[in-house]
């Protein structure tokens, strides 16, 4: 069976994957942009935004691995965009422009129905109102033998960990302090039944991979 993977999720030293006050101007919250600077320093990160250049090495290798073998993605509505409540007539189409970097089906958890959204490059956003298990069933069908990548935000990752639906998690710990924002782990969510399978560090971030035992 395909694996459910959390890949390349950046977190601050004090445990936040996004800063406070997320909105369209600050999609990662105030100060949260610093969490992803390591990504855009790499060759792969620069290619994501249509540029050339960037660094090779540990960070780039792990970014490449994060996408290898993935046939579907699940994300929360907060990762898809800043819109809240019912979808309006001017419907949000995501942060990524006309050709998102996924190139496979993406299942967005939401409380409000919406028709599927076909984008250039093979990405189709499908909006799931029946919860994490329903999204996972659809993603498994779409991915076939390939793995399923679980994107953010923090609440979505927490929901899947609480249900023990996650097989592996890769977090990149960035040397910044945000002070507040969105956390995956705290005193209410301890990932029991997992072990750290690898740890490597570059000059920019420390990478931890945790797998289910």
33 within some domain: yes
The pTM assigned to this predicted structure is: 0.92
Residue 36's pLDDT is 95
Reported as a pLDDT band with limits 50, 70 and 90, residue 87 is confident
Domain hosting 166: range is 4-85+97-212
Asked if residue 190 has pLDDT above 80, the reply is no
Residue 132's pLDDT is 97
90 within some domain: no
Residue 90's pLDDT is 66
134 within some domain: yes
Per residue in 132-180, pLDDT tens? 999 999 999 999 999 999 998 899 999 999 999 999 999 999 999 999 9
Mean pLDDT lowest among 74-78, 87-91, 131-135 = 87-91
47 within some domain: yes
Print burial letters for 73-112: b (CB count within 10 Å at least 16), e (below 16). bbbbbbbbeebeeeeeeeeeebeeeeebebebbbbbbbee
- Give me the number of domains the chain comprises: 1
Nearest-5° Cα angle at 128, 97 to 122:
40
CA distance 106 to 74: 6
91 within some domain: no
User: What's the mean per-residue pLDDT of the chain?
Assistant: 93
CATH of the domain at 27: 3.40.430.10
Span 179-187, mean pLDDT? 90
Mean pLDDT lowest among 23-27, 114-118, 206-210 = 23-27
């Amino acid at each position: 069976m395909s694996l459910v993977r959390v890949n390349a999720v950046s977190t601050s030293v004090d445990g936040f994957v996004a800063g406070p006050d997320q909105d369209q101007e600050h999609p990662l919250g105030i100060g949260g942009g610093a969490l992803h600077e390591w990504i855009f320093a790499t060759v792969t990160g620069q290619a994501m935004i249509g540029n050339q250049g960037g660094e090779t090495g540990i960070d780039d290798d792990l970014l490449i691995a994060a996408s290898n073998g993935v046939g579907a993605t699940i994300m929360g509505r907060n990762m898809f965009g800043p819109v809240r409540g019912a979808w309006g007539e001017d419907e949000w189409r995501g942060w990524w422009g006309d050709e998102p970097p996924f190139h496979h089906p993406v299942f967005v958890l939401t409380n409000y129905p919406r028709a599927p959204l076909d984008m250039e490059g093979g990405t189709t956003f499908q909006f799931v109102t029946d919860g994490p298990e329903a999204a996972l069933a659809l993603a498994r069908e779409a991915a076939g033998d390939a793995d399923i990548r679980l994107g953010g935000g923090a609440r979505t990752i927490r929901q899947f960990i609480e249900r023990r639906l996650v097989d592996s998690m890769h977090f990149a710990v960035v040397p910044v302090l945000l002070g507040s924002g969105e956390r995956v782990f705290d005193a209410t969510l301890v990932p029991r039944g997992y072990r750290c399978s690898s740890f490597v560090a570059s000059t920019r971030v420390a990478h931890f991979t945790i797998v289910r035992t």
